[in-house]
Amino acid sequence: MKKVLIGLLTGTLILISSCSDNEKKTIDPSLQLDLAGEQLEKSLKWLGDTILNPRTMEDGSVRLVRSQDWTSGFWPGMLWYIYESTGEEQWKDAAHHFSMNLEQEMYNGGTHDTGFKMGCSFGNGYRLTGNEDYRDILIQSAKTLITRFNPTIGCIRSWDHNTDKWDYPVIIDNMMNIELLFWATKETGDPVYYEVAIKHAETTLRNHFRDDHSSFHVVSYDTISGEVVKKNTHQGFAHESAWARGQAWGLYGYTMSYRETGREEFLQQAIKIAEFILDHPNLPEDKVPYWDYDAPGKPDIPRDVSAAAITASALYELAGFSMDKKAELMMAADQILTSLSSDYRLSGDHSWPFLLDHSTGNMNKDSEVDVPIIYADYYYVEALMRKKSLMQE
């Protein structure tokens, strides 16, 4: 897809100065959500009525993308969260506008990222408003997504590209997309969506993880026998290394799968992934990981704030499912959220539609390295919402 660059910016990204250790211990999620709202309100004025959604910063400009892009649902999803936090109609209207930019994606069978795109946007919208149009879009999206399922393999196909490398690639990220399918069965009563989701989770659990509970990025299957052909880490440092965002996807995906199924093996897998991340000797003190846990050159290599934000959000949910580890998981999530809010937030004197800096998209392609990326912001805001909810219990 052709990249769309809108709005040339001058100057550099400026971070909010670090707080004292005492201040870092008292991050208020409601305050941080208010600050996020102030920033995003300026961003909405800057974006206007565009049919594009923001993704990242590129060469000093905000990169906006069309609905086909896998990240297109995170911006409207974040707006829905701000609406949920404030109850103000302006956020509902803005979230609706940017969600509707994706409406046609309910028929796009050429991507596995339907859950990311439609769940974050229309899924949050339906949860908060009960809009029947959103429901219809989501159900059609689920119908489209399951067309990518191969029953011989037991997984939803990820990429259609790089056919010279992989016959049937399945990436760990795909665990995130099956949440839409769990929802569809609950909403319609049709078990087919649940059956596809559970089979995908089972197959991924069996084949994606190493003995230390870290995950490969890509597992490729033979379409005739259904057997594993290759195990690679395409966006990590090496095939046997632990790509940071991949570990976060796995943690979030199996925590969510336990929530939706009550299957004990999914809970145990989520706990084991959390332990791998939090006990890793290469995890920095502020718990914001390097782009790959095994990449050389530390500490002078890029971090991945997106991996930290995904991890924090997942840990808050996982803490509610594991009573014996609740305090430990909550403390780790709090530490990550505090670091992000204190040391990785962009200053508020700009109109860019981003909150956090220092994420890494694809280091191996020198793409989106050490920049703001929209999915980091989405999961950061989600983590703030989860923290806020926990404090109100």
What are the tens digits of pLDDT across the range 142-200?
Answer: 999 999 999 999 999 999 998 999 999 999 999 999 999 999 999 999 999 999 999 99
8 or 314, which is more confident?
314
For residue 5, give the H/E element and its range: strand 4-8
- Above 60 in pLDDT, residue 13? no
Task: Considering the candidates 21, 34, 113, 343, report the single residue annotated as catalytic.
Answer: 113
Please name which of 221, 286, 289, 302 lies closest in space to residue 251, comparing C-alpha atoms: 289
Q: Name which of 25-34, 45-54, 146-155, 200-209 the model is least confident about.
A: 25-34
pLDDT single digits (tens) 260-312:
999 999 999 999 999 999 999 999 999 999 999 999 999 999 999 999 999 99
Using CA atoms, how far residue 173 sits from 115, 159, 170, 188, 249, in Å, is: 11, 11, 8, 25, 5
Task: Considering the candidates 69, 173, 294, 334, report the single residue annotated as catalytic.
Answer: 173
Q: Does residue 28 have an active-site annotation?
A: no
Q: What pLDDT does residue 27 have?
A: 86
Preceding omega of 299 cis (within 30 degrees of 0): yes
Instruction: Render the burial of 55-94: b for 16+ CB within 10 Å, e for the rest.
Output: bbbeeebbbbbbbebbbbbbbbbbbbbbbbbeeeeebbeb
- Looking at every residue in the chain, the average pLDDT score rounds to 93
pTM: 0.94
Structure tokens at 4: 């769309």
105 or 6, which is more confident?
105
Q: Does residue 173 have an active-site annotation?
A: yes
Query: Residue 247: CB partners within 8 Å, gap ≥ 6?
Result: 214, 215, 273, 276, 277, 293, 307, 311
CB 287 within 8 Å of CB 332: yes
d(C-alpha 97, C-alpha 101), whole Å: 7
CB 326 within 8 Å of CB 268: no
d(C-alpha 333, C-alpha 330), whole Å: 5
* The CATH classification of domain 4-15+27-392, taken from the options 1.20.1260.10, 3.40.220.10, 3.40.50.10490, 1.50.10.10: 1.50.10.10
pLDDT single digits (tens) 204-234:
999 999 999 999 999 999 999 999 999 999 9
Partnered with residue 209 across adjacent β-strands are 215
